[in-house]
Structure 1
Amino acid sequence: MSRSLVLCRLGTLAVCAMIWFGLFPFLQRWFFFFLRFFSLTNYRPIDGLLRWAISWREDHGSREETEVEEGHREEEELDGEVCRNYRPIEGPSRLAIPWREDHGSREVTEVEESHREEEELDGEVYPVNPSDDLHCDYDSTWETDQSPERSVKRTRTTRTTRRTSLSGYRHFSTFQRAARDMQNYRNDYPGQLCIQSSNDKPNLDFYLGKRPCVPDDVYINDFHNKWKGDYDKLEFVHTFIQWLFPLREPGMNSWASTLTKEEIQEFLASSIAMENLLKSYKLMLDFYGIKLCDEKTGKVEKASNWEDRFNNLNSHTHNSLRITRILKCLGTLGYRHYQCPLVQFFLNETLVYGHLPNVKHSVLNYFLFAVLNKRQRRKLLKFAYLNYNPNDEFVWCPLSVQKVWSEQARQTGF
């Protein structure tokens, strides 16, 4: 074969490759452009067909949390990050910065009363040294209550290489990536550009029943009345979760809007919005095989159909991303005292009873660190450490803290 013929064929292949890799993204962008165009016009039949083709894709749960691993686009496979209190909170004076980390100034719930001794212990200062092998740069749990969250990661040296080379610490790097996202949420998204006030408040209007969510075109009351118990819809439709549990961070549904501070304040001042958010929480708890036993304390327990729903939760891991979003939303929109009971429930189910093995590390990396109250986080971490097996592979708190807890357990005969 002549050299000119070989060069000609190679050139043809190169041109075909450039056309393919350039044309496919172009067609994909225009496809979503036309999809959005149809949703904003009266072409409902075409719009419905296109949304069905996209939204009803089955998720086989093959991914772990990618929300943080891909920049907290992690938690969202269109589910809104796998996925950053009581009702209703009264008085505008309590609404100024409701999503900031709670350092212990809240009212005491029944759950906290039953663990008063642990609360007092978890309120003390722990001797955590940055040179600790399991010290996480993005976790403020062990700092004093007056210490602000850190938003800048310090430079690491050989300690990182040594830690990640040890088999017992193999989960630490994943935890540290997740911790950056969760601290960003707990610290009210430092550095985030403030969206200017607008008369358009899509999340609030949706919760007041004034507009449907997009692109599903469903009103809030229809979710509560028609979607409850329709587990196929709740599983395979991926565009509603950002509307039911809005956050101050964007999700993968481009039709959903992030919360503004003005919107949050008006939301918390509205008894209708707060009541509807509680119904949305119950809707998703039922989907996961859980029921809310006490609206005042947030206590939850397994529902009668828990085995079937747990199987679904364990096999479709994008639901872990949804639960992370739900926990963040509870902390942002006035139900922060619901966070601890729900996380405690998942710790019991995963670490004590051995259910939901595919959810266990989501609970430890994300759910637990969504809890805004620092003392409650410490209590939950202590429970997790004492029930984690094997104990020497626990990476979610510094070694110095683990030694304190181990000594206390030895003395009490735990």
Structure 2
Amino acid sequence: MSPLLLGLSGQVVLKMIWFAYNRARCLIEWLWRITRGFFLCCFTRVFTPIARYVLSAIGWREEHGSRNEPEVNDENKPQTTGSQDDRVEEPVGQWEAGRLTAGFDRKAEEREEEDAEEEEDEFDQEEYQVDPSDELYCGYDSTWETGEDQSSTHRRGRRPGASRHYKFSRFENASRDMQNYRHDYPSQIRRQPWNQNMSSDDKPNLGFYLGNNPSLPDGLYIHNFHNDWKGEYNTLECVHTFIQWLFPLQEPGMNHEASTLTKEEIKEFLKSSTAKENLLKSYELMLDFYGIELCDKETGEVKRASNWRQRFSNLNNHTHNNLRITRILKCLGTLGYPHYQAPLVHFFLEETLVHGELPNVKESVLNFFVFSVLDKKQRRKLIKFAYLNYDAKDEFVWCPRKIQILWSEPHRGVHGRKDGFEHYPDQKQYQI
């Protein structure tokens, strides 16, 4: 065979190989796009129980190193000043429109108002001032700081007694993250855009919520999620790239193609009725996924949905959803719905502590959900409700020991009930 024919044959073979490679690559990419959710779901179901067992065996907190929440470390450790912790103080009567319901007679209403006045003043009394030497004092939690000690700079001081409580250690780790959030990320360093071609003036999260740009890498617009994903429980469970777009935060998640929320985006988001309405739809989408229904858009009151048993089972068996709910609560507080936080947290407290549901969610409720509530008064009420309904009170580590002793006194209860929210007329009762 002549050299010319050999050369031509070689070129033809090379082109055929190149063509076959390109076709195979396209086929592989297409197959990966349509099956990655399935593989991720299988991987999660196989390895999550193993990882949970190993992490619990070494005493590591379940939320550490998650896909959806950042690892808390010394780089983002906040300075605990407490001065900004009341940045969302609901005015008296915030919940007034929803508190009067049929069936209340005037005498019962007057009694509730009297109890409420006493309760409103309770947490401001001198006996609620906590000394840092308290066995269960957490230096990263400013929930019990008062006007007199708001300038405290105490951060971490492990008491000998607290070292015996592994639950306290986990709570202390969680408190750093939640305090950083509630204080609006005082030590946060603004990150550069993940895409170097993206200008610093771009607002990807706001644009997504206004329907102007799709999420990445899924390529879906906000209306696609709201119209096509509701009730698609397998998709919502197995796909892990959407949660950072639906509920953006000023802290990074594991989807590196999603951007952290900026101060400029927050300001414009709060002024946009379209963005806020879409956020409400996203919230309802995820509530439905968890078997919960929003029954009052004014107050944020929630209740069990009709399919709650099946959805609770899924939630209890897939604990990465605890991280998602923490993200949702933080986002609600940042983007215009802080009054929605307490009703959802109270719902989970009642489900876990009163009704005995969702045992694998209970510690996340106490470590993270409660302390995401920006309103300090509501947060204190939630903690009191948790303590009054917690069975093993000697193992309760989420507030100082001094306060637990106060709540254990017989006269602290109301009408013999363990309902920490019955006292407050500004807080509508949450249906279960």
Same topology, TM > 0.5: yes
For 1:192, the aligned partner's letter is Q
Partner of 1:122: 123
Once residues 200 and 399 of structure 1 are traced to their aligned partners in structure 2, the CA distance between those partners, rounded to angstroms, is 48
Once residues 217 and 322 of structure 1 are traced to their aligned partners in structure 2, the CA distance between those partners, rounded to angstroms, is 21
Distance 1:105 1:302, change over 3 A: same
Partner of 2:162: 163
Give runs of aligned pairs for residues 295-306 of structure 1, distance below 5 A.
Answer: 295-306=297-308
Identical counterparts, % of pairs? 56
2:183 to 179, 184, 187: 187
For 2:255, the aligned partner's letter is N
Once residues 186 and 139 of structure 1 are traced to their aligned partners in structure 2, the CA distance between those partners, rounded to angstroms, is 10
Maintained 8 Å contact 1:76/1:252: no
The reply to whether residue 231 of structure 1 matches residue 220 of structure 2 is no
Once residues 323 and 343 of structure 2 are traced to their aligned partners in structure 1, the CA distance between those partners, rounded to angstroms, is 18
Once residues 280 and 325 of structure 2 are traced to their aligned partners in structure 1, the CA distance between those partners, rounded to angstroms, is 15
Give runs of aligned pairs for residues 392-411 of structure 1, distance below 5 A.
Answer: 392-407=394-409, 408-409=411-412
Distance 1:377 1:99, change over 3 A: closer
Give runs of aligned pairs for residues 234-273 of structure 1, distance below 5 A.
Answer: 234-273=236-275
1:45 to 26, 30, 33: 30
TM-aligned CA deviation for residue 403 of structure 1? 1.0
1:322 to 307, 321, 324: 324
TM-aligned CA deviation for residue 286 of structure 1? 0.2
TM-aligned CA deviation for residue 105 of structure 1? 4.5
TM-aligned CA deviation for residue 373 of structure 1? 0.4
| Number of aligned positions between the proteins | 353
Query: For 1:23-68, what per-residue CA distance to the aligned partner results, in whole angstroms no more than 9, with x for missing partners?
Result: xxxxxxxxxxxxxxx9xx9x963762585476444533535699xx
Maintained 8 Å contact 2:245/2:258: yes
| 3-state SS, counterpart of residue 44 of structure 2 | coil
| 3-state SS, counterpart of residue 59 of structure 1 | helix
Maintained 8 Å contact 1:76/1:321: no
Query: For 1:211-239, what per-residue CA distance to the aligned partner results, in whole angstroms no more than 9, with x for missing partners?
Result: 11111111100100000000000000011
Maintained 8 Å contact 1:73/1:251: no
TM-aligned CA deviation for residue 127 of structure 1? 2.3
Query: For 1:365-401, what per-residue CA distance to the aligned partner results, in whole angstroms no more than 9, with x for missing partners?
Result: 0000000000001000000000001112111000110
Partner of 2:208: 206
Maintained 8 Å contact 1:291/1:300: yes
For 1:102, the aligned partner's letter is V
Partner of 1:78: 67
| 3-state SS, counterpart of residue 332 of structure 2 | helix
1:344 to 309, 329, 346: 346
Partner of 1:109: 95
Distance 1:341 1:124, change over 3 A: farther
Distance 1:217 1:319, change over 3 A: same
Once residues 38 and 308 of structure 2 are traced to their aligned partners in structure 1, the CA distance between those partners, rounded to angstroms, is 30
| 3-state SS, counterpart of residue 293 of structure 2 | strand
Once residues 140 and 217 of structure 1 are traced to their aligned partners in structure 2, the CA distance between those partners, rounded to angstroms, is 41
What is the TM-score when the length of structure 2 is the normalising length?
Answer: 0.73
Aligned-residue CA RMSD (Å): 3.3
Maintained 8 Å contact 1:289/1:302: yes
Distance 1:146 1:205, change over 3 A: farther
Partner of 1:215: 217
Once residues 291 and 105 of structure 1 are traced to their aligned partners in structure 2, the CA distance between those partners, rounded to angstroms, is 26
Once residues 106 and 332 of structure 1 are traced to their aligned partners in structure 2, the CA distance between those partners, rounded to angstroms, is 21
TM-aligned CA deviation for residue 164 of structure 1? 2.2
Maintained 8 Å contact 1:128/1:142: yes
Maintained 8 Å contact 1:82/1:324: no
Once residues 241 and 46 of structure 1 are traced to their aligned partners in structure 2, the CA distance between those partners, rounded to angstroms, is 23
Give runs of aligned pairs for residues 285-304 of structure 1, distance below 5 A.
Answer: 285-304=287-306
Distance 1:303 1:119, change over 3 A: farther
Q: Which consecutive residues of structure 2, in runs of 5 or more, have no partner in the other structure? A: 1-24, 73-83, 101-111, 193-198, 418-432
Query: For 1:169-217, what per-residue CA distance to the aligned partner results, in whole angstroms no more than 9, with x for missing partners?
Result: 3311110000111001001111112468932111001101111111111
Maintained 8 Å contact 1:290/1:303: yes
Maintained 8 Å contact 1:289/1:304: yes
Distance 1:54 1:206, change over 3 A: farther
Q: Which consecutive residues of structure 1, in runs of 5 or more, have no partner in the other structure? A: 1-37, 84-97
What is the TM-score when the length of structure 1 is the normalising length?
Answer: 0.76
Partner of 1:24: none
- The answer to which of 73-82 and 214-223 deviates more is 73-82
Give runs of aligned pairs for residues 55-94 of structure 1, distance below 5 A.
Answer: 55-60=40-45, 61-62=48-49, 74=63, 77-80=66-69
Once residues 301 and 52 of structure 2 are traced to their aligned partners in structure 1, the CA distance between those partners, rounded to angstroms, is 28
Partner of 1:138: 140
Distance 1:207 1:147, change over 3 A: farther
For 2:33, the aligned partner's letter is G
